[in-house]
Amino acid sequence: QVQLQESGPGLVKPSGTLSLTCAVSGDSISNSYWWNWVRQPPGKGLEWMAEIYHSGNSNYNPSLKSRVSISIDKSKNQFSLKLNSVTAADTAVYYCARRSSSYMDVWGKGTTVTVSS
Amino acid sequence: QSVLTQPPSVSGAPGQRVTISCAGSTSNIGANYDVHWYQQLPGTAPKLLIYNDNNRPSGVSDRFSGSKSGTSASLAITGLQAEDEAHYFCQSYDNNLSGWRVFGGGTKLTVL
């Protein structure tokens, strides 16, 4: 079955760049799905961040658009997220997810990122 | 705060029926965009529970059901069980600005 696995540094310094990768297994990233990033600050709700299609088309949360970028690597069957100028408010569990139609049907287990000096 | 509004908490005794509301606006639920629900057990990733307003993925108990009316949606859980204790999130699409996916703030269900 399809599995998603997030990876990246667990600690990022303030004003730095957060970089995460989501490896997709059991499915081709070139199939007809959108690949998403969703985050969850400690004790809070879910926030949709960005999504990308295998064509390279992407969509972003308007509140993050100036700081976030998403990319896809079809040769490695993975996609990535970069978030610039991070602050403590960006401390969260970051999930990657597959979007089928308009819902997220497959999620990774999540990776915790802490922004601290 | 979240674009979709959910009550922070609900509770019920085993066997009872509870509902969780998800209030939106004319730019999301009221524009007839589909509503989806996710269950998040403690320490785990969200799991799709209901999609396209009222459909259950394979393997989800029929004790869970969804509905939508106007600018709001609801998740109903019947025959409450201890294993249902979790956070529940609604999700839809909002056509403000360039369009984006939006979540509710989440509801903690406590089984008494």
Interface A-B, measured as beta-carbon pairs within 8 A, has a size of: 67
Determine the pLDDT at residue A55.
94
Establish how many alpha carbons lie within 13 A of residue A99's alpha carbon, considering only the half-sphere containing its beta carbon. Answer: 22
- What is d(CA B74, CA B56) in angstroms, rounded to the nearest whole number? 14
Burial letters for B72-82: b for 16+ Cβ neighbours within 10 Å, e otherwise?
Answer: bbbbebeebee
Tell me which of A30-34, A48-52, B99-103, B106-110 is least confident: B99-103
The B-side interface with A (CB below 8 A) comprises 2, 33-34, 36, 38, 44-48, 51-52, 57, 89, 91-93, 97-106
Determine the pLDDT at residue A35.
97
Q: Are B52 and A45 an interchain contact pair (Cβ–Cβ within 8 Å)?
A: no
Determine the pLDDT at residue A98.
97
Q: Beta-strand (E) ranges in B1-112? A: 9-12, 18-23, 36-40, 47-50, 64-69, 72-77, 86-94, 100-103, 107-111
User: Using the 8-state DSSP alphabet, how is residue A61 labeled?
Assistant: -
Kindly state the tokens that stand for A51: 């999504």
CB contacts of B35 in chain A (<8 Å) are none
Looking at the DSSP bridge assignments, the partners of residue A29 are: none
Determine the pLDDT at residue A36.
98
Across residues A50-64, what is the average pLDDT? 94
Determine the pLDDT at residue B96.
86
- What is d(CA B67, CA B10) in angstroms, rounded to the nearest whole number? 18
Across residues A86-108, what is the average pLDDT? 97
Give φ, ψ of B39 to 5 degrees.
-110, 130
Helix (H, G, I), strand (E, B) or coil at B30: helix
Across residues A31-41, what is the average pLDDT? 96
B13 in Cβ contact with B112 (< 8 Å): yes
Query: Mean pLDDT over all residues of chain A?
Result: 96
Q: Is the pLDDT of residue A116 over 90?
A: yes
Cα Rg of chain B (Å, integer): 13
- Per-position pLDDT tens, chain B of length 112: 789 999 999 999 999 999 999 999 999 999 999 999 999 999 999 999 999 999 999 999 999 999 999 999 999 999 999 999 999 999 999 998 777 899 999 999 999 9
- Confidence bin at A57 (pLDDT 50/70/90): very high
Q: What does chain B come to in residues?
A: 112
The number of beta carbons lying within 10 Å of the beta carbon of residue A101 is 12
Model pLDDT for residues A63-83, shown as the tens digit of each residue: 999 999 999 999 999 999 999
Across residues A52-70, what is the average pLDDT? 95
